[in-house]
Amino acid sequence: MTSLVAVSSHLPDTVPVDALKEPLGLNDQQVRRFTRLYGLDRICQAPDRSESELLLAAAGKLDGLAGQEDRVRYVVRAKGLRTTAPYPNNPLRDVCDALGLRNATTFAVSDHGCATGLLAFDVAGMLLEADGDPDALALILAGDKTLTPFSQWVADVSIMGEATAAVLVGPGGGRDRMLGYAARIRGREDGLIDLVGDLAKEAVRIYQDALEEVVLAATEEAGITVADLDLVLPHNVNRVSWTVAAKNLGIPADKIYLGNIGATGHSFCADPYINYQSVRELGLINPGDHYLMTSAGLGQSFAAMVLQH
């Protein structure tokens, strides 16, 4: 059974949302919506650091990796964006070289948007199980560099941050066992993902139903119900979407951890893992607790994963 062995994160310095008004071309109404309604306050940004440096800053703090490099069989780059570094730069190769991960097969997964981080966990687990080596590990690197205006914000939805996470995955163990995973893609045949005009209306229309579908599918596979969840670790898109989701799913609002929305912004598919580290440090999760990680991505991708601490 796949388990989460260790998580570390890197949170760069932050800037207030109103300081991004001119760079992002926001008007006063949009600034008020992001801050007062959506709960965003400060956004992690590292303009002077490369994607390689941001990923290495997270992976370098990972408990359980130092001295165990030869056990790492796979390094999986979970990308919220297809392209995050200009050719010929290869951030994944840079990180592996810096960490001494000489025996690892390296590859990236993408096209699930910000839900790719959970997809990477499921893929890593399947590969480790197929290998049959109980001592093997996989390393997931999550989080993206916002190099272009397209990647810096999603109009009237969220503002993107540059925090990163590193996740060590094992094929067994009892620390944080994955009990259920579900993913759904409700994309378009033409491949368009820009949230403008009719596409934006369609995304809003299906969002909550699709999110509920994957949450219910993941909890069913885990053999529990939504009522059995002790904690929800979402992606940090905005406060409103999770307030509505809590009501629709019948989850008490205080079970959804939203503490990082105002502190980091939405850091692509690193968010659930950053939130995991936060609740561990705050003592908000106890042995035996069932918790849910869930994310949604551009392109109408949705994922949910149930684990037991």
- Residue with the two structure tokens 């820009």: 194
Containing H/E element for 8?
A: strand 3-10
DSSP state of 111: S
The reported pLDDT for the residue numbered 1 is 83
Domains plus CATH for the chain? Answer: 3-170 (3.40.47.10), 177-308 (3.40.47.10)
The reported pLDDT for the residue numbered 222 is 97
The reported pLDDT for the residue numbered 19 is 93
Per-residue pLDDT of the chain (309 residues), as tens digits, is: 899 999 999 999 999 999 999 999 999 999 999 999 999 999 999 999 999 999 999 999 998 899 999 999 999 999 888 777 778 888 899 999 999 998 899 999 988 888 999 999 999 999 999 999 999 999 999 999 988 777 888 887 899 999 999 999 999 877 899 999 999 987 655 444 455 555 555 666 788 889 999 999 999 999 999 999 999 999 999 999 899 999 999 999 999 999 999 999 999 999 999 999 999 999 999 999 999 999 988 778 899 999 999
Q: Is 98 helix (H, G, I), strand (E, B) or coil?
A: helix
Q: Is 151 helix (H, G, I), strand (E, B) or coil?
A: helix
Strand partners, 12: none
The reported pLDDT for the residue numbered 106 is 96
In whole angstroms, give the CA distance from residue 295 to residue 247. 17
